[in-house]
Amino acid sequence: MTWKEFVYRLVIEFCNERGKRTFTLREFFPAYEKEFRQFKPQNRYPLPKVRQQLQFLRDDGMVQFIDRRGTYTLRGVELLKGEVEDEKIQEVSKQAPEKREYLIETFARNRGWVREAKEKFGEYCLYPRCSNTFNKPNNKPYIEVHHIISLCDGGEDAIWNLAVVCAHHHKMAHFSNLQTKQGLQNILLREVESHL
């Protein structure tokens, strides 16, 4: 058995015992320190070895790294022992998702304005001091173009009404409460005006 297989088996056991998928290295390692030391006694530094194996498991999609504090969540196991409360839940979990068809009416945006907005405002979120922009696999920044006043609310498909924003601020502009939306709208209108 390899280190990776051994660590994954113990991760599953640990999650099953606790009845939850999320764990930290600080919780996991002490629970099995004795087993790690016995597994390969010649390895005098089992903690770094376990951390390395968790990285390999993450790369293989078997665990997911959640934050920078050593928190992981188990993947690749459909149900933990504690997650099945009764036979009905297990039965439902095996059912295929229902397919639905939707007819959606939407406003078509002018792609030329999208290009113009990115050229005019750049590749980073216009919200002041925002650092949420990230790089895509091709190393170009991911940015979204947002109609500050929605087309459905009478906004124009024009450069003065477009802003480049990160995905977080774009969702915020559409789904936050009214006060937050209006505050964000005012900030973006000011930022766009200062760039034009």
This prediction has a pTM of 0.48
Which residues of the chain are under the pLDDT cut of 70? 68, 78-98, 102-110
Q: Quick check: is 101 in a domain? A: no
Do the domain assignments include residue 162? yes
- What pLDDT, on the 0 to 100 scale, is given for residue 29? 93
Same domain, 9 and 76: yes
Do both 18 and 85 map to the same domain? yes
Residue 145 lies in a domain: yes
Q: Is residue 98 part of a domain?
A: no
* Same domain membership, residue 132 and residue 64: no
70 and 135 share one domain: no
pLDDT on residue 19: 81
Question: Is the CB of residue 135 less than 8 Å from the CB of residue 167?
Answer: no
**Residue 103 has what pLDDT?**
66
Would 46 be classed as within a structural domain?
yes
User: Over the stretch 47-84, which tens digit does the pLDDT of each residue have?
Assistant: 999 999 999 998 888 888 877 677 888 887 766 666 65
Note whether 88 and 124 are same-domain residues. no
Instruction: Answer yes or no: is 102 within a domain.
Output: no
Q: Domain residues for 34? A: 3-93
| Residues 80 and 159 reside in one and the same domain | no
* pLDDT for position 88: 47
Tokens of 161: 């009404």
146 vs 87: CA distance, rounded Å: 47
- The 3-state DSSP composition of the chain as helix, strand, coil percent (nearest 5) reads 50, 10, 40
Among 190, 175, 176, 174, CA closest to 126: 190
Residues 135, 86 share a domain: no
Among the three residues 29, 58, 93, which one is the final residue of a domain in this structure? 93
Residue 74 is predicted with a pLDDT of 86
Identify the pLDDT of residue 89: 45
Residues 80 and 128 in one domain: no
Split into its structural domains, the chain has a count of: 2
Domain co-membership, 80 together with 126:
no
pLDDT of 18 reads 84
- State the CATH number of the domain containing residue 68: 1.10.10.10
User: Is 115 found in the same domain as 39?
Assistant: no
148-170 burial, b at 16+ Cβ within 10 Å, e below that, comes to beeeeeebeeeeebbbbbbeebb
> What pLDDT is attached to residue 61?
87
Distance CA 121, CA 133 (A): 14
Residue 159 lies in a domain: yes
Same domain, yes or no, for 87 and 117? no
* Residue 140 is assigned to a structural domain of this protein: yes
